[in-house]
Amino acid sequence: MGFVKSGAQQRAAGAGGGGLREEMIDGQRLVRLVRIPKAELHLHLEGSIEPGTLREIDPSLSLAEIEEYTKYEDFAGFLRAYVWVNKRLQTPEHYALALRRLALTLAAQGVVYAEITLSAGVILWKGQDLDAIYGALWEESQRAPIAIRWIFDAVRQFGAEAARPVVEFAAGARERGVVAFGIGGDEVRGPAREFAEVFREAREAGLRLTCHAGETAGPESVREALAIGAERIGHGIAAIEDEALMTELRERAIPLEICVTSNVRTGVVASSEAHPLRRLYEAGVPVLINTDDPALFGCTLAGEYELARRLGFSEAELEELAKASLRFAFAEPDAYGASGSEQAGSSGP
C-alpha cells in the first residue's frame, strides 16, 4: 500500500492535493455529507501530507520515490512510512505548509473544527526546535478557514521519560491552542500502564488526555488507557471483544475515535464490512468518525461518513455522529464559533 495506489498522481496535479474522492460518493450524497457541520478529532498532521505537498516541501522527490517509501502491508510497515514522511519535514515552514493544505481540505468537507495531533515526540527525536515549529503552526492556524486546536503526541515505544518534555512543552502552550496530550505508536511495545505518572502530570498541568489503544492490541489495552485517565480512546475497536468494557465506555461516556479505512489499510481488520463500528454503536458505545492519516490511507472525512452509511448508518444517524464529534471536542464550543455550534445543535435530537 502507498500513496499512488490511493491516487497520488491525480492528487499531485494540484499543489494542495487531497481532493474529495467523488468517485466513491454520488453527487447529492456528497453535498449532504459536506454540509453537515463536523469536527475531525483523530487526525495526524504528518499523516495528512499529500504527494503534491511533499513535492512542494522537497522538489527533488518524484512520485515514484514517494510511492516506494510509503508502501506498507501491515501496521509495522505503516509506522515506517509515517517516519519517512516525518523526516521530510525539516523546517517550521514545512510544517506550516502542511497545515495550510490540510486546513483547506478540511474546510471543503464541512469541518468547522479540528483537533490535530502533532508528533511532538518525533520532532524532539529528530533534534528539531519544537518551539519554532509550533510557533509557525500556531501562526498558520490563526489564518486557517476553520478553528484548530492541537494534541501533542508522544511516541509510546520511546518510553515514559521521553514523553515528559512533550508534556512540559504542551502545558506551556495551552494559551496558544494546545488542548491535550496523548500517546501513539506501538501499543504492544509501549503499554499505557507505563505512562500513568506522565498522564497524571499532564492532567495536573491542565491538559486533556487521549490515548491510542485497542488498535493492534486487545481490550486490555483499552482498559489500561482508561486506568491512566484517558478521556477519549484512539481507535479502541478491540473493545468489541469485551462486553463489560463496552458497558464501562457507555456508562462513562468515553468515546472511541474510529478510523475505519485506517484499520483496513493497516490490516487490523480484514475489511470495512468486518469493522466493528456498527456493532459498537448499537451497543451504545460513543463513537466518532475520523481519518487518522488521510494521505497515507487514501481517505477523506466525507468519505469516511459515506463508508459509515454503507455500513448501515442512516442519514439521521450520520448527523448524530457529526454532532457528537463537536460535543466530544476538548475545546469549548466557542472555539469553533457560533455558526458551527448553532448548526451542530440544530442537527441533533
Catalytic residue among 215, 224, 304, 319: 215
Beta bridge partners of 150: 116, 178
The H or E element containing residue 253 is none
Cβ 259 vs Cβ 304: under 8 Å: yes
Give the residue among 189, 123, 187 at the shortest CA–CA distance from 152. Answer: 123
Q: Which long-range contacts (CB under 8 A, 24 or more apart) does 303-307 make?
A: 303/20, 303/21, 303/24, 303/25, 303/261, 304/259, 304/260, 304/261, 305/33, 305/36, 305/38, 306/24, 306/25, 306/29, 306/30, 306/33, 307/260, 307/261, 307/272
Cβ 307 vs Cβ 261: under 8 Å: yes
Catalytic site includes residue 215: yes
Beta bridge partners of 276: none
Site of grid cell 519535514: 89
Name the residues annotated as catalytic. Answer: 215
